[in-house]
Chains A and B, each alone.
Chain A
């Protein structure tokens, strides 16, 4: 069992060759105890993976679900639902008022700032704000994982590990090697990982080339390419190109990062 358990963990960690995976699957199918152990391990990995969730099968949890179902249908739960709806309405009405007040305040501050600048003959420096916004909006945690269980992708697993450990030099070498070894395969996520690695080590020309490649693809990730391209321009403090790129995302609400792009665009408008 120890030996088999070790194999199961290797498989679920994505570090087993395709051939060994097939052999292990056969072993699991033939042994009930091993299957039980495999199922719990599989659940354990998904449970601790930030990008995953265990959707349980209803047919195996009918009794447990019924207890909560009765509660959700009860008068007591309905009273709480009503209270939540009232609270939500209150919150959004207040938020709208506050937004209007904040926008007015921003306008007053902006006018006062411009007047001050003109008065002392001093030009505004946007550097600090652009870098602040870049730091605020860069979030690599949202990238999908490259770990595909059961596939022989050790290079990508290792590249992702270096990426997560913020060793972008090593990550970029590994991703580059993988792309060269798979000239026929187009994988937009790998391109994004590589582009961001370059962005982090300030090789922005290469980052721009890679993100542009993603934007030109037919994949669903094309709009993601625009988002990372915009972040690259933001890092370069090229506000004009950042804005132009964000405007492409905001053309359609179905684009990835639509809301973030809209928010960032609004903030950039206050810089220039």
Chain B
């Protein structure tokens, strides 16, 4: 089966609820997700939950908003799982740090709905990044990986660290502006 055909088969199996096809999705991608969750302080049960939720999230986005997966299905599902696990870890950390006794009560569907909106927003930020020049994307890629300015200067052929710093600032500013201008972006009062 060609990659494209395989992708379509997996996606259609998921949207139509075909257990055989979804088992193929498990065979292909679950081991990778399990390894990721275990490497990040999680257990098998948590990997199972994340996988189920990510599969459901994808069907919701395709069904409700006719979302189109631009990368491979396999890659997109893995990213969705990684994001859901990071979301879970972040929630746990926040609860521990703030020692919050008042936890916002949400139904399972509400929480999954909120997670889906968060993933949509995450995708929007990345989509907007693609609108920047190649050079800006490379600079921001290194900056967000926290690479030292000295190293970035060497890699991208800049003369001084100061030029790199200024360029990164301009690219970040530009990205912020184009995100704000997108009509799908909703300004937050507070994060």
* A contacts, CB < 8 Å to B: 5-6, 9, 36-37, 39-58, 60-61, 64-69, 71-73, 76-77, 79-88, 90-91, 94, 139, 142, 145, 147, 157-158, 160-162, 164-165, 253, 256-260
Contact = CB atoms under 8 A, between A and B. Distances in A.
Contact of B191 (A5, A39, A49, A88): A39
Contacts, number: 179
A164 B147 contact: yes
A142 B39 CA distance: 7
Interface stretch (B1-9, B68-76, B102-110): B102-110
B60 interface: yes
Nearest to A2: B173
A256 B43 CA distance: 10
24 contacts: A5-B173, A6-B169, A40-B179, A40-B180, A41-B176, A44-B172, A45-B144, A48-B140, A54-B118, A56-B114, A60-B189, A64-B186, A65-B114, A68-B113, A69-B112, A71-B64, A72-B60, A80-B56, A83-B17, A83-B18, A84-B56, A88-B48, A161-B146, A260-B39
Interface of B: 14-15, 17-20, 22-23, 25-27, 30, 38-41, 43-44, 48, 51-52, 55-56, 59-60, 63-64, 83, 86-87, 89-91, 94, 104, 106-110, 112-114, 116-118, 121-122, 125, 140, 144-148, 151, 169, 172-173, 175-176, 179-180, 186-191
The binding surface of chain A is classed by DSSP as helix
Contacts of A77: 56, 59-60
Given A79-B17, A83-B19, A71 B63 contact: yes
Contacts of A36: 187
A68 B112 CA distance: 8
Contacts of A161: 146-148
A44 B179 contact: yes
A55 B19 contact: no
Nearest to B149: A161
Contacts of B106: 58
Contacts of B148: 158, 161-162, 165
A56 B117 contact: yes
B101 to A, nearest CB: 18
A64 B116 CA distance: 9
A175 B180 CA distance: 39
